[in-house]
Amino acid sequence: MKRLGHLNRDIARILARMGHTDSLVIADCGLPLPVQIECIDVSLALGDPGFGHVLQTVLADLKVERAVLAEEAREHNCAIVQHASSLAGRGIRVDYVSHQELKRLTHSARAVIRTGEATPYANVILYSGVIFDAPEGARPCK
């Protein structure tokens, strides 16, 4: 039995398949989802599990280099703005786009994790980073 990382087999499978710049959406329970994109629905009840809890478990198991959130969250959801600050504090680039643009960007995601979150604009697109750096002393090829 798996001991570390995500225990949800579908989330673990998606995270294991993520390559550099692939995207994954963590969504509230109201975001319209593209039909062709896999949806991993972890919602149990309104608000359960919450956006922040799911985000933290994914960040513990996935190297993220960029996050995209809805611009509208800045005015309508202070908790999401705090999560964005936390992402930036981890060295993750945070970008804001219109909610319409965010919905369009979900169409190229590997999957959507649908939470029970029931607050406005509680959605993020996470872009995978790489887990290795250039070796010590590495030089560019000539």
Catalytic annotation, residues:
20
Residue 16 CA to residue 70 CA, distance in Å, equals: 27
Q: Which of 44, 39, 7 is nearest to 110 (CA)?
A: 39
Torsion of CA 58, 94, 98, 13, to 10 degrees: -20
